[in-house]
């Protein structure tokens, strides 16, 4: 079933560029089940050398 992508925005360092993005809930629910609790896309270890990661964290 397609749902608004914003339902999964907590997985990303930045907000979606459009509220009209739709994603497959079955796929994204499986992804959420298998990643660590504080995981974000892109991974902070990958981004860290390029940006101030403290300013990017949006998860609570």
Token pair listed for 36: 């660590």
Band the pLDDT of 58: cuts 50, 70, 90. low
Q: Give Cα separations from 6 to 33, 45, 49, 51 (angstroms).
A: 17, 24, 27, 24
Q: CA-CA distance, 46 to 6, in Å (whole number)?
A: 23
Q: Which has the higher per-residue pLDDT, 7 or 58?
A: 7
41 phi and psi angles, rounded to 5 deg:
-110, 125
Band the pLDDT of 60: cuts 50, 70, 90. very low
Is residue 60 a part of any domain in this protein?
no
Looking at the structure of the chain, the number of domains it has is 1
Query: pLDDT of 4-54, one tens digit each?
Result: 988 888 888 777 778 789 999 999 999 999 998 888 888 777 877 887 766
pLDDT (0 to 100) of residue 34:
93
Domain assignment of residue 41, given as a range: 2-55
């Amino acid at each position: 079933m397609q749902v608004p992508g914003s339902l999964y925005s907590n997985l990303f360092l930045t907000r979606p560029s459009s509220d009209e993005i739709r994603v497959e809930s079955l796929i994204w629910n499986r992804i959420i089940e298998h990643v660590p609790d504080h995981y974000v896309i892109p991974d902070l270890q990958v981004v860290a050398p390029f940006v101030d990661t403290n300013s990017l964290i949006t998860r609570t």
